[in-house]
Amino acid sequence: MAVLNDLIIDDVTVITMDAERRTMRSATIVVESGAIVYVGPASEVLQAWAGELPAGLAERLERMPRLQGRGRIAIPGLVNAHTHAAMALFRGYADDLMLQEWLTTKIFPIEAKLTPDDVYWGTSLACAEMIKSGTTAFADMYFFMDEAAQAVEKSGIRASLSVGMGSLAQVADGVDGGSGGFGAVLARGTALCEKWHGAAGGRITTMLGPHAPYTCSVPFLSAVGERARQLGVGVHTHVSETFREVDEIRSAHGMSPVGYVESSGLFDAPTLAAHCVAVSDEDISILAQHGVRVAHNPGSNMKLASGVAPVEKMLAAGITVGLGTDGAASNNNLDMIEEMRLAGLLHKTARRDPTAVPAHVCLEMATRGGAACLGLAGSIGSIEVGKRADIVLLDFGAPHLAPVGIADPVSHLVYAASGADVSAVIVDGCVLMDDRKLTTLDEHEIMAEVERRAARLVRAVNAK
Amino acid sequence: MAVLNDLIIDDVTVITMDAERRTMRSATIVVESGAIVYVGPASEVLQAWAGELPAGLAERLERMPRLQGRGRIAIPGLVNAHTHAAMALFRGYADDLMLQEWLTTKIFPIEAKLTPDDVYWGTSLACAEMIKSGTTAFADMYFFMDEAAQAVEKSGIRASLSVGMGSLAQVADGVDGGSGGFGAVLARGTALCEKWHGAAGGRITTMLGPHAPYTCSVPFLSAVGERARQLGVGVHTHVSETFREVDEIRSAHGMSPVGYVESSGLFDAPTLAAHCVAVSDEDISILAQHGVRVAHNPGSNMKLASGVAPVEKMLAAGITVGLGTDGAASNNNLDMIEEMRLAGLLHKTARRDPTAVPAHVCLEMATRGGAACLGLAGSIGSIEVGKRADIVLLDFGAPHLAPVGIADPVSHLVYAASGADVSAVIVDGCVLMDDRKLTTLDEHEIMAEVERRAARLVRAVNAK
């Protein structure tokens, strides 16, 4: 297992996403104890320690393992700001259906058959896929999250985990809203936070996950907000995914979904709101005022025909926007490079403006934006001194990425590359993949387990 | 150079796209002299010759080279129904700009510096990229097409080539509308057809390429149509790419672009019309009535914010629709698997209907539809006996394509796969790629040439 906390990357083009959004050519990156301690020209490495050169530093640097950067591009690890990782089990099981039919006849019945071990293996598959396509951190909401946390711990990836919680009886589906009333549900969400927040050397953090306005009562949302503040964790929820949701909440409560959640006080806790497709200008003001972070999911929104989130308006209002894939059952992959491209293309199309959501904004959302969505703006999202070493190397030596010299590397990344161009992935200074070989996970074992379990789940659904 | 005209693919899942659109598991495909002679169970291969078993057949089959199909999916080679291959030279050179600014300040100036050799190497790059992502045939329109044809001939790919021709003085850009009046332009387009139609053992065919309504006068379009009928070739043109084009043609001529072209009689020749974004119901009737085939370019239309072609209406009207990438300067890759995904996602979004343009329709457009666009419906576009052996094998053994057993393979192909999952590519029974290694082209030589030439072109533009 080639995991290391110290390493040097040589002679690499670095898209830093630092405060000045600098791109550096032929740079060196030095990582010590999982943190970035230097980014710049090879000739100036020692100057980083100027005035306080630690004893033995030169020798230590000499001995550090090196990753070859020549011909490669280094970017901050991509952050998937909204997914349901274990749903990778259901990839390709049901597509091209109306949302309600898809949920009620396909997804809910198969989710009802899931075991904790299924979630472990489904999450492991998602982690393998995410690492292989350049994602180093993700925000997850599902159930059997203890097992999901174990999969994350083993994989070496970074994640913010939450139990999807609901308090309204009619929806038990994909949501832990089962027996025992909302106190019991909230207790299960709380237990995850108490057990796992800060675990795996800080790689695992947690949030409380009230599922959505249509599955959670106002008193429940209030209680969740209060509990989040007590625990010192954030909140991960879905808001205004569809226009149908807006119609239903408005006719039941006389408010928009955003207004409904605001009325509960939930937004007083740091909140990550997935989707925000069907939001009005007034909703956007509310989200901005409370510092709510938004996870935009262009691929899932397009595939389910949910609508187009007003991303440019939200960004203009000062809202932090990250990008998410949503679950692999509605995407159908977890490739954040593709998600960046879809964000760029979707908003150009919807706005009829080819300058809308340009490549650098897509990358911004997938890195710094996602980091802030996970409450980790101070520690990940850019390649700069002091941040954790979550770094992705891409190989730009392929026909679909030529020529390189005349091109903006951010354009190549967003408009021409794919997850398969990722060659190495580093989280916390540990190499999780090099030359496309995973170091912490056995992808063949995982695929075999998933194949067997998916077949069993479908048999169980068909037998009932 | 591992090119062969006879081969057997064993134990493969075949998405045939035959008349019944059958998918066969564990099938055998037999190719003789570049044609498909058998598709079906291994146990019944000899029955394909029942009643007329040629002498020595069993021995010949025994000696045939074999490609391992286990764990792989065989699909008909994808057909890119509209591109400007050599524009791969300009990939990533200019993005996120308004269309007119992009064309006039970036693309036209650099195209003016192109040499015939640049087009040879740019087309070679595009061929390498297309083979590596599962495309086996494409429709091209550009200039210096003699050199493009040489690149196609060497690569082993199939193509229908045309010189982009214009007759209106204001547009010389990307279009051979230069000196000598329209007779000289038409002569250059004609010369390509006379020299290359049916060349490379039939792999290369040609069309006449009148560029667009806004670059071609009605008398010129009439002359092109007449010439196409004399030569027995089709016509490749752009129609109604943008709403601006519609406004301009309508105010100048009192007709839609479709009506304008129809008035010239051009549509009496077999016509491939790229884009058809801004078409009315009446335009669609005209296109259907003349049997005009449409190349839909979702990626380029999205990136340039041109609008959404009414693909479902066109299909409902009985129009043949293929998929194209357009040039790599506005896409920015030539990955037809991504193009299928974008087609599915774009129309679901635009129609607010998750059942719109389902996966199998995307694949239909990219195979049978594209074949018909190129005038090759009788010889490619499906894996069935009698067709040319243009076959693509994909490796479905990767995390982003697991699980396999419960999934519709067409869903995986369209919604989860990428060009990088293509493992082998066969055209006319010749293996152009196996295990992702190209057999006919040296991709490193091509990338080095393209790098050097792109740098020279940019220097030349900046120097003037």
Structure confidence by residue, pLDDT tens digits, B139-152: 999 999 999 999 99
Taking CB atoms and an 8 Å cutoff, what residues of chain A touch B93? 406-407
Using a CB-CB cut-off of 8 Å, the residues of chain B touching A454 are 403, 405-406
pLDDT at A464: 64
Overall average pLDDT of the B63-81 stretch: 94
Relative orientation angle of helices B281-289 and B257-264, to the nearest 10 degrees: 30
CB pair distance less than 8 Å for B403 and A454: yes
Which site among B406, B418, B438, B446 would you substitute to test the A interface, given the most A Cβ atoms closer than 10 Å to its Cβ? B406
Q: What is the DSSP string of A198-236?
A: TBGGGTEEEEEEE--TTTS-HHHHHHHHHHHHHHT-EEE
- A-chain residues near B454 (CB < 8 A): 403, 405-406
Tokens at A95, concatenated: 């597509």
Give pTM, 2 decimals: 0.96
pLDDT value, residue A172: 44
Question: Is the Cα torsion angle A383, A385, A386, A389 positive or negative in sign?
Answer: positive
The percent of residues above 90 in pLDDT, for chain B, comes to 88
**Hey, are the CB atoms on B349 and A99 less than 8 Å from each other?**
no
List the single residue in A with minimal CA-CA distance to B334: A400
- In one-letter notation, the amino acid at residue B85 is A
Looking at chain B, the whole-number percentage of residues with pLDDT higher than 70 is 95
ipTM of the complex: 0.96
A340-396 residue pLDDT tens: 999 999 999 999 999 999 999 999 999 999 999 999 999 999 999 999 999 999 999
Interatomic CA distance for residues B340 and B299, integer angstroms: 9
Residues in chain B within 8 Å Cβ distance of A338: 338, 418
Minimal CA–CA distance to B74: which of B439, B409, B440, B432?
A: B409
**Cα(B134)–Cα(B124) distance, rounded to whole angstroms?**
15
A246 CB neighbour count, 10 Å cutoff: 24
Q: Give the pLDDT band (50/70/90) at residue B177.
A: low
Report d(CA B112, CA B460) in Å as an integer. Answer: 10
Q: Which residue in B132, B184, B195 sits closest to B161, CA to CA?
A: B195
Q: List chain B domain ranges.
A: 7-76+382-438, 78-373
Residue range B321-338: mean pLDDT, rounded: 97
Do the beta carbons of residue B210 and residue B235 sit within 8 Å?
yes
Amino acid B176: pLDDT: 56
pLDDT of residue A2: 42
A102: its two tokens: 């898809």
Please report which residue ranges of A408-442 form alpha helices under DSSP H. Answer: 409-411
Burial of residue B353 (CB within 10 Å: 0-12, 13-18, 19+) is middle
pLDDT of amino acid B4: 60
The answer to whether the Cβ–Cβ distance between A92 and B354 falls below 8 Å is: no
For residue A245, the distance in angstroms to the closest alpha carbon of chain B comes to 15
Average pLDDT over residues B181-188: 88
Minimum mean pLDDT range among A283-292, B16-25, B38-47, B104-113: B38-47
The count of other CB atoms within 10 Å of the CB of residue B421 is 25
Q: What is the pLDDT along chain A (464 residues), one digit of tens a residue?
A: 345 689 999 999 999 999 999 999 999 999 999 999 999 998 888 777 766 777 788 888 888 889 999 989 999 999 999 999 999 999 999 999 998 899 899 999 999 999 999 999 999 999 999 999 999 999 999 999 999 999 999 999 999 999 999 988 544 444 555 555 688 899 999 999 999 999 999 999 999 999 999 999 999 999 999 999 999 999 999 999 999 999 999 999 999 999 999 999 999 999 999 999 999 999 999 999 999 999 999 999 999 999 999 999 999 999 999 999 999 999 999 999 999 999 999 999 999 999 999 999 999 999 999 999 999 999 999 999 999 999 999 999 999 999 999 999 999 999 999 999 999 999 999 999 999 999 999 999 999 999 999 999 999 999 96
CB-closest option in A92, A342, A349 to B308: A349
Question: Residue A360's closest chain B neighbor by CA?
Answer: B96
**Sheet of B321-323: strands edge to edge?**
B78-83, B135-142, B158-165, B204-210, B234-239, B271-275, B293-296, B321-323
Query: Which residues of chain B lie closer than 8 angstroms to A151, CB-CB?
Result: none
What does the pLDDT read at residue B46?
Answer: 79
Can you name the CATH fold of B78-373?
A: TIM Barrel (3.20.20)
Interface test with B, best of A113, A121, A349, A462 (most B CBs within 10 A): A349
Query: Are A120 and A441 a contacting pair, CB within 8 Å?
Result: no
pLDDT at A169: 52
Print burial letters for B93-105: b (CB count within 10 Å at least 16), e (below 16).
Answer: bbbbbebeebbee
Average pLDDT of the residues of chain B = 94
CB-hemisphere CA count at 13 Å for A373? 35
- What is the pLDDT, as a whole number, of residue A13? 96
CA distance A398 to chain B (A): 8
Q: Please check the confidence at residue B205 and state whether its pLDDT lies above 60.
A: yes
Q: Do the domains at A7-76+382-438 and A78-373 have one common CATH topology?
A: no
In this predicted structure, the answer to whether residue B430 has a pLDDT above a threshold of 70 is yes
A361: nearest CA partner in chain B: B96
Residues of B in contact with A99 (CB under 8 A): 354
Q: What is the pLDDT of residue A54?
A: 77
pLDDT of residue B59: 85
In the prediction, which pLDDT does A181 show?
A: 67
pLDDT at residue number B173: 47
Written as one letter, the residue type at B318 is G
> For residue B412, which residues of chain A lie inside 8 Å, CB to CB?
91-92, 332
**Which fold does the domain A7-76+382-438 belong to in CATH?**
Urease, subunit C; domain 1 (2.30.40)
Q: What is the tens place of the pLDDT at every residue in B222-261?
A: 999 999 999 999 999 999 999 999 999 999 999 999 999 9
Task: Select from A33, A137, A139 the least CA-distant residue to A76.
Answer: A137
Q: Say which amino acid occupies A411.
A: S
Q: Assign 3-class secondary structure to chain B.
A: CCCCCCEEEEEEEEECCCCCCCEEEEEEEEEECCEEEEEEEHHHHHHHHCCCCCCCHHHHHHHCCEEECCCEEEEECEEEEEECHHHHHHCCCCCCCCHHHHHHHHHHHHHCCCCHHHHHHHHHHHHHHHHHCCEEEEEEEECCHHHHHHHHHHHCCEEEEEEEECCCCCCCCCCECCCCHHHHHHHHHHHHHHHHCCEHHHCEEEEEEECCCCCCCHHHHHHHHHHHHHHCCEEEEEECCCHHHHHHHHHHHCCCHHHHHHHHCHHHCCEEEEECCCCCHHHHHHHHHCCCEEEECHHHHHHCCCCCCCHHHHHHCCCCEEECCCCHHHCCCCCHHHHHHHHHHHHHHHHCCCCCCCHHHHHHHHHHHHHHHCCCCCCCCCCCCCCECCEEEEECCCHHHCCCCCCCHHHHHHHHCCHHHEEEEEECCEEEEECCEECCCCHHHHHHHHHHHHHHHHHHHHHC
pLDDT over 60 (residue B78) = yes
Closest Cβ–Cβ partner in A304, A344, A451 for B405? A451
CB-CB under 8 Å, B408 with A92 = yes
Helices (H), A145-180: 145-155
pLDDT tens, B338-392?
A: 999 999 999 999 999 999 999 999 999 999 999 999 999 999 999 999 999 999 9
